[in-house]
Structure 1
Amino acid sequence: MDYAATRDEALARVADAQDLGAVEALRVELLGKSGSISGLLKTLGGMSPEERQALGPQIHALRESVSQALGEAKDQLESAALQAQLAHETVDLSLPACEALRGTVHPVSQVMDELAEIFADLGFAVATGPEIEDDWHNFTALNIPESHPARAMHDTFYFPDQMAQVGQKMLLRTHTSPVQIRTMLDAVKTNPGGAPIRIIAPGRVYRSDSDATHTPMFHQVEGLVIDKGIHLGHLKWTLETFLKAFFEREDIVLRLRPSYFPFTEPSIEVDAGFAIINGKRVLGGSGDAPGHGWMELLGSGMVNRKVIEAGGFDPDEWQGFAFGVGVDRLAMLKYGMDDLRAFFDGDVRWLQHYGFSAHDVPTLSGGVGVRP
């Protein structure tokens, strides 16, 4: 058999191939499992050693030549096809790229950061405590003993009795006020004589309630000041300064009303003046002005003597004030939301609308320039 002639014929056929389909058909015909050149390779097994030595190199050379020619033809045709595609298709590089989906900063997280920023300017530290709390820290130390009717004010999630610790029932904390007790006790341990305390305690709290303005889990921030010579004037100034900085308005007007909380005495409810603008309540101005009203905003008061004692301080030497407000409520008022339940639904559309881009988080323009 004339292997050189077979090679020349195969190479000529490869050179005449016009497209990738024709090149692939030739590869199968010549080098496939049943191809003609593959058949020649199979005959080597039946040859004598002398014939195999003489013909083997020629058959292998034939296969290598055809294989190389097919590869080069394929590369050339693919390159030509790409060039033709590039010549007919264009990309406008001036068009903006598709925006990738990004997460957002939740309004509650944003408000938490704003609160920490404001109160840091006022000299307050941020304190935290456990969300699974014991009955003593959550109620008893805050002047709410087991028989106290004020316990009916809280719809509490209790854990089974077998989870009790040292005789204390365990529960999901109903407010962040237990952090006040823990902070005072820690301060007394650090300094037996006690020490001035200025803290805020933001965090999650739990109550069995659910509607448009209540959820089983929500967020509170409580403030506590323990020092000598503290009076209601310090509390009013702190709240006014805080609210003016948070809402970024200088016309915030507060009204203090007598109230009752077991852990403060005297206790006061704080109302803020508002006006109706475009159908929404906007804080600012006196609630007694025409077209205005008063909105209940938070509870506060002077720390009860029994609470100061439970925290390890001498109430004849130390006084203080405390206040608490819902973080979710502050977010709703500042950023125009009307249903608290949406905060926890995890709806991406709501988060994209009310959330804040990590690159465009609002900052407080004024801040607080004066310390109490």
Structure 2
Amino acid sequence: MSGPNTDYDPVEVTPLQAEQVEAARDAALAAIAAAADLEELKAVRLEHAGDRSPLALANREIGALPPQARKEAGQRVGQARGAVNKALAARTEVLEAEHEERMLVEETVDVTLPTDKVPAGGRHPLTTGAELIADIFLAMGWEIAEGPLVEAEWLNFDALNLGPDHPARTMQDTFWTEPAENHVVLRTQTSPVQARTMLTRKPPIYIACPGRVFRTDEYDATHSPMFHQVEGLVVDEGISMAHLKGTLDHFAASMFGEGIDTRFRPSYFPFTEPSAEVDLRCFVCRGVEADSCRTCKGEGWIEWGGCGVVNPRVLTACGVDPETYTGFAFGMGIDRSLMFRHGITDLRSFFEGDVRFTPAFGTEL
């Protein structure tokens, strides 16, 4: 059995030679001193004090030495690594202090300067517009009625005198739910709310019905498959077209300013008879300089909606005696009305969620 190798010369292990250890230490100290900031010092730490640094690799070689040679080599490498770690700690303290001083200078806030106001944002104009319209009718003593967005075919069409062959029932205008035999649609107008009210209440009835409606329209600057309407319904004794005209004149003046009135043009709607298209006096030129007005294009009037006296067939379908009661109904687009009121040229601005759009309207219209 052989004895320990007493003739092993540790100088033969190159990483443990005194010159090599001192060179690695000096290189580390020089790099530490040259580090200009904490990021550079981090890189230096990895290169000269990390697991793959020259001194760390030299430290691993100590285990291969015979016992009598380990002490001297261990002291040599340990002192070098200690010097490097001490230098790292000292340089880190200096650089951290410099970093804090620099941050205090660069990020100083002058609290004596006036501050900008935090933007208040704004509510969506369709929300505030619908509330404004509701307030107009509530002030007249009317009620606000609401109904479901998904509606029975009978309430959306049949009760309103739209027969089975009416073109509005086709897929070109209506979103039908599946299965088709359930006869359920996304409401194409808020008129079903009027039918529901007449079926559940006795006259007199004075209601306004704002809400979302759906039609299979193209999505462009003037059309959308989802938009907003407000419809009004009055059912009482002795109601005539004169009451309808006075109501719409008041509505127009409340929305667009004093002096704005309406005119009727004969038209046809299945649920009213007689029926009329409602035109709004141009709120820009007020009909005075219509030839040069870009809003009404020389007409002096702007198309606004539809209206008429409630068809007796609709009253009968909803359980109201047409011999005793008469009424009127009207409908306008809320989106279209707000486009008129605020000069908005693209309907898509209401629906595309651009946060820059709503602040201009504030919190109230």
TM-score higher than 0.5 here?
yes
Structure 2 vs 1, CA of residues 308 and 201 (structure 1 numbering), >3 Å: closer, same or farther? farther
Counterparts of 2:309 and 2:74, CA distance in 1: 105
Per-residue displacement from partner, 1:213-244 (whole Å, max 9, x unpaired)?
55554432211223444443432332222211
- Between the aligned partners of 2:94 and 2:321, the Cα distance in structure 1 is 93
Counterparts of 2:88 and 2:171, CA distance in 1? 83
**Distance change (3 Å), C-alpha of 1:110 and 1:18:** same
CA distance in 2 between counterparts of 1:37 and 1:161 reads: 77
Whether 1:357 aligns to 2:364 is no
Q: Which amino acid aligns with 1:270?
A: V
Pair 1:128 & 2:152 matched: no
Match of 2:187 in 1: 173
SS in 2 for 1:357: helix
Return the match for 2:315 from 308, 311, 314.
Answer: 308
Cα distance in 1, alignment partners of residues 56 and 170 from structure 2: 91
Q: What displacement does 1:256 show?
A: 3.5
Does residue 277 of structure 2 align to residue 269 of structure 1? yes
| Counterpart-to-counterpart distance in 2, 1:259 and 1:63 | 98
Residues 267 and 91 of structure 1, relative CA distance in 2, 3 Å threshold: same
Q: Is the 8 A contact 2:149 2:212 kept in 1?
A: no
| Paired position in structure 1 for 2:306 | 299
Q: CA RMSD in A?
A: 4.8
Q: In the aligned structure 1, how far is the partner of 2:262 from the partner of 2:241?
A: 13
- 2:3 maps to none
CA distance in 2, matches of 1:161, 1:36: 75
**Residue matched to 1:119:** 137
Distance (whole Å) between structure 1 residues aligned to residue 306 and residue 25 of structure 2 = 95
- Say whether 1:232 aligns with 2:246: no
CA distance in 1, matches of 2:170, 2:55: 93
Q: Structure 2 matches for 1:63-102, cutoff 5 A? A: 63-64=81-82, 66-80=84-98, 83=101, 94=113
TM-score in terms of structure 1 length: 0.67
Aligned to 2:352: 346
Cα shift at 1:206: 1.0
Following superposition, the deviation at residue 197 of structure 1 comes to 4.6
Q: How does 1:3-18 map to 2 (within 5 A)?
A: 14=29, 18=33
Report the 3-state secondary structure (helix = DSSP H, G, I; strand = E; otherwise coil) of the residue aligned with 2:93: helix
Contact 2:252 2:280 in 1 (8 A): no
Structure 1 residues 40 and 146, CA, compared in 2 at 3 Å: closer, same or farther?
closer
> Secondary structure of the equivalent of 1:280?
coil
In the TM superposition, what is the alpha-carbon distance from 1:300 to its structure 2 partner? 1.4
Q: In the aligned structure 2, how far is the partner of 1:70 from the partner of 1:357?
A: 55
Q: 1:181 to 1:53 in 2, by over 3 A?
A: farther
Name the counterpart of 2:173. 156
Normalised TM-score (structure 2): 0.68
Give ranges in structure 1 of 5+ residues lacking alignment. Answer: 283-290, 364-372
